[in-house]
Amino acid sequence: MRNVYNFSAGPAVLPEPVLQEAADEMLDYKGSGMSVMEISHRSSLFQSIIDETEQDLRILMNIPDDYVVLFLQGGTSLQFSMIPMNFMRNGKADYILTGYWAKKAYEEAKRYGQINIAASSEGDNFSYIPDCSDLEIDQDSDYVYMCENNTIYGTKFHCCPNSHGKVLVNDISSSFLSEPMNVSDYGMLFGGVQKNLAPAGLVIAIMHKDLIFDTVLPNTPTMLQYKIHADKKSLYNTPPTYNIYMVGKVIKWIHSLGGLEKMKELNERKAAVLYDYLDSSSLFYGLANAGSRSLMNVTFRTKSDAVDAEFIKQAEKHGIVSIKGHRAIGGMRASLYNAMPIEGVQHLVDFMREFENSGDYHAK
């Protein structure tokens, strides 16, 4: 039991039993006399780690056999370039703008082709997910891009956009393994692991094998070609071995709790504790439209920046850390990833109530 609840948006809280297990194995992994950090990525010991991690992920997410799983580097942000570089065969794509990260991906893709904005909620400071049931997609579009969970604004798609048969590419960084999803609704799912899965430094991409093309944009660097990573089974160069090991451990932890259905149930229960309080509070209010709320990142504030700052300061003294909102939106953000226990959310809400009742903050 640690003495703070960490609400960071990422790198973020990891399951305590996983950290403990990793600590126990730190000096001697399975009798090898070495730490996983010290083992060659070409060794049979590491090969079993990466194989088992992929296999366990396939079972957990029910990934069909015609999808490949890639362990990549460069952060989620590098995918913003790799996606257009690898998929834009007609030089056209459609992007749905629902937040900071989707917009960054859009800005990057513009370097490579003609990008249409299929839908956007930017006009309302990304506070909601636009209606995507009948998007106007260019007939020649190579793919439709979305970001499922908007880490900064606290919104989430609750149904799959209608891409009119075009390949859907989905950044799932901040909702990865938080609930079940139907992998075959998408051509590609990808996400950084630093929120729900492992320490920062690894991206997992799950893509249909038909998207692994031979021909890509001319002069695409070798490291930026999905085909190379698929052909070499994520071992073209030295992968972030320790992160892959940690992902494997977190997946086993999720399996042990009952899988993604169970994760969803727990995440819904946790988020409800905070949203219910926000809906009843006369000091704090939620920033995302009710129908678009994220289970993972809850954004809220008071009517005053000074009160927000005071709340953040006092919260820290009560063991509530990394609750400050992103600078793009201000206020507060509580990230309730899989490893955040419900007790942590209850502790936060108890403190919010105490803060609300403690002084005349309404007047500030």
Ligand X SMILES: Cc1ncc(COP(=O)(O)O)c(C=O)c1O
Residue 103: how many CB atoms within 10 A of its CB? 17
Minimum distance of ligand X from residue 37's CB (angstroms): 21
Only one of the segments 31-39, 170-178, 310-318, 350-358 lies at the binding site for ligand X (rule: CB under 6 A); that segment is 170-178
Only one of the segments 11-19, 116-124, 171-179, 234-242 lies at the binding site for ligand X (rule: CB under 6 A); that segment is 171-179
Structure token pair of residue 185:
């609704």
Q: Which is nearer to ligand X, 173 or 178 (CB)?
A: 173
Evaluate whether 174 touches 156 at the Cβ level (below 8 Å): no
Q: Which is nearer to ligand X, 75 or 91 (CB)?
A: 75
By CB under 6 A, tell whether 199 contacts ligand X. no
User: Coil, helix or strand for 219?
Assistant: coil
By CB under 6 A, tell whether 151 contacts ligand X. yes
Q: Which of 156, 166, 195, 270 is catalytic?
A: 195
Distance CA 265, CA 255 (A): 14
User: Coil, helix or strand for 255?
Assistant: helix
In the region spanning residues 295 to 324, those forming contacts with ligand X, defined by CB under 6 A, are none
> Which of 36, 129, 147, 205 touches ligand X by CB under 6 A?
147
By CB under 6 A, tell whether 173 contacts ligand X. yes
Q: Give the residue among 232, 230, 237, 201 at the shortest CA–CA distance from 216.
A: 230
Only one of the segments 32-40, 71-79, 329-337, 347-355 lies at the binding site for ligand X (rule: CB under 6 A); that segment is 71-79
Q: Which is nearer to ligand X, 37 or 328 (CB)?
A: 328
> Which of 21, 25, 35, 75 touches ligand X by CB under 6 A?
75
Minimum distance of ligand X from residue 196's CB (angstroms): 11
Minimum distance of ligand X from residue 231's CB (angstroms): 24
The residue ranges of DSSP E strands in 46-91, in sequence order, are: 67-72
Evaluate whether 287 touches 127 at the Cβ level (below 8 Å): yes
The verdict on whether 195 is a catalytic residue reads yes
Residue 20, C-beta contacts closer than 8 angstroms, at least 6 positions apart: none
Distance CA 222, CA 218 (A): 11
Q: Which of 56, 101, 308, 324 is catalytic?
A: 101
Minimum distance of ligand X from residue 215's CB (angstroms): 27
In the region spanning residues 325 to 354, those forming contacts with ligand X, defined by CB under 6 A, are none
Q: Prior bond to 11 cis, omega within 30?
A: yes
Q: Where do runs of H (alpha helix) occur along 140-237?
A: 226-231
Distance CA 30, CA 49 (A): 11
Distance CA 207, CA 84 (A): 14
Evaluate whether 185 touches 163 at the Cβ level (below 8 Å): no
The verdict on whether 171 is a catalytic residue reads yes
Q: Give the residue among 199, 202, 155 at the shortest CA–CA distance from 8.
A: 199
Q: Which is nearer to ligand X, 191 or 277 (CB)?
A: 191
Distance CA 271, CA 249 (A): 25
> Which of 48, 77, 133, 222 touches ligand X by CB under 6 A?
77
Q: Which is nearer to ligand X, 101 or 337 (CB)?
A: 101
Evaluate whether 45 touches 37 at the Cβ level (below 8 Å): no
By CB under 6 A, tell whether 76 contacts ligand X. yes
By CB under 6 A, tell whether 101 contacts ligand X. yes
Minimum distance of ligand X from residue 147's CB (angstroms): 5
Applying CB under 6 A, which residues contact ligand X?
Answer: 10, 75-77, 101, 147, 151, 171, 173-174, 192
Catalytic residue annotation: 101, 171, 195
